[in-house]
Amino acid sequence: MTWVELIAAIVSALGVWLTTRRQPWCWPVGLVSVLVYAWVFVDAKLYSDALLQLAFAGFIGYGWYRWLQHLGADGRVQVAPLPRRQALIHLLIGGVGAVALGAFMHHLTDAALPWLDSALTAFSLVAQWWQARRHVAAWWLWIAVDVIYVGEYVYKHLLITSVLYAGFVVLAVIGLRAWQGAGRKLARTPAVPSTPA
């Protein structure tokens, strides 16, 4: 499985790097990576992670569509603010999803780390939703989730993937800074009529 994990890691890193650059091609590259990673995670009995990859596949179609509607003149997606109330609601939904999925995985499967894996899955979906909606806050959540994923994957001896997720933390910091800069730049430009967010 190591060579499959390595291919998945390389393609996944490329997809995240394209996301930090606000390039719409991050979505089809990401689709390839999530499909390969679903296979890796089933083999490791990390079933919530495998389900997460399939959910990501659905988000990828939505995200690609959304981003193509909100491209700037430079061909990169424009960032959008995330209202605090929406952020809190989404995090609450993530918490409820974590408990529900964790209970299911704990009682009905042989999942290796049912509660932790389920929590990471639920909050990764929130982060992916925010990413599709072009919110800078997605990077903050990715940083938190990816740091914990590093430990989980070291524990499960998925060393290539743990190194990948350590790299994701670095890429998320780069993405956060780049997207914050793009948001500040957009805030300084004169308002023009646009399509709704």
pLDDT digits (tens, 9 = 90+) for 149-177: 999 989 988 888 899 899 999 999 999 99
Q: Mean pLDDT over residues 16-22, rounded? A: 94
Q: Chain-wide mean pLDDT for the chain? A: 89
Query: What are the structure tokens assigned to 60, written together?
Result: 């990828």
Q: Which pLDDT does position 87 carry in this prediction?
A: 96
CB 171 within 8 A of CB 61: no
Of 37-46, 153-162, 176-185, the range with the highest mean pLDDT is 176-185
Distance CA 100, CA 78 (A): 34
pLDDT of 192 above 90: no
Non-local (6+) Cβ contacts of 68 within 8 A are 24
pLDDT of 59 above 70: yes
Q: Alpha-carbon torsion 127, 68, 30, 78, what sign? A: negative
Q: How confident is the model at residue 96 (pLDDT cuts 50, 70, 90)?
A: very high
pLDDT of 4 above 90: no
Q: Which pLDDT does position 178 carry in this prediction?
A: 94
Q: Which pLDDT does position 191 carry in this prediction?
A: 54
User: Which residues on adjacent β-strands are paired with residue 142?
Assistant: none
Model's pTM, two decimal places? 0.84
CB 47 within 8 A of CB 80: no
Residue type, position 9, single letter: A
Q: Mean pLDDT over residues 13-41, rounded? A: 93
CB 19 within 8 A of CB 131: yes
Q: Which long-range contacts (C-beta less than 8 Å, at least 24 apart) are formed by 41-44? A: 43/1, 44/1, 44/112, 44/156, 44/158
Q: Mean pLDDT over residues 32-43, rounded? A: 90
